[in-house]
A = this chain, B = another copy of it.
Amino acid sequence: MVVKPKFTAQQEHIARICKALSHPARVYIMEKLSSMDGCCTSGEMIGDIPIARSTLSQHLKELKFAGLIQGEIDPPMIKYCVNKQNWEIAKLLLNGFLK
């Protein structure tokens, strides 16, 4: 009987990271947050890109879900920052893949 190997955990992980970065809005968000070093609210982002607030919110949620960013509440705003630990891991993985 022929066995079908699964994808490796690394292949899955790389794909997950790339998926998180597979929309220009999310590329923009990561660029913006990286450049800020500090953090940034969605209100500061919305003026830069051609999508509705609710759509931006969805993209932020996806990046948060992927672990690449995190949001801390600072009423009435939410400050988003890069999740440095996970972003480092992501960069290492991708750099390895691109090597």
Contacts and interface: CB of A to CB of B under 8 A. Distances in A.
A84 interface: no
A77 interface: no
B94 A4 contact: no
Q: Taking the full assembly, how many copies of this chain does it contain?
A: 2
A15 B7 contact: no
A15 B24 contact: yes
A79 interface: no
Given A15-B23, A15-B27, A5 B98 contact: no
A22 to B, nearest CB: 4
A46 to B, nearest CB: 9
A31 interface: yes
Interface string A13-57: 011001101111111101100000000000000011110000000
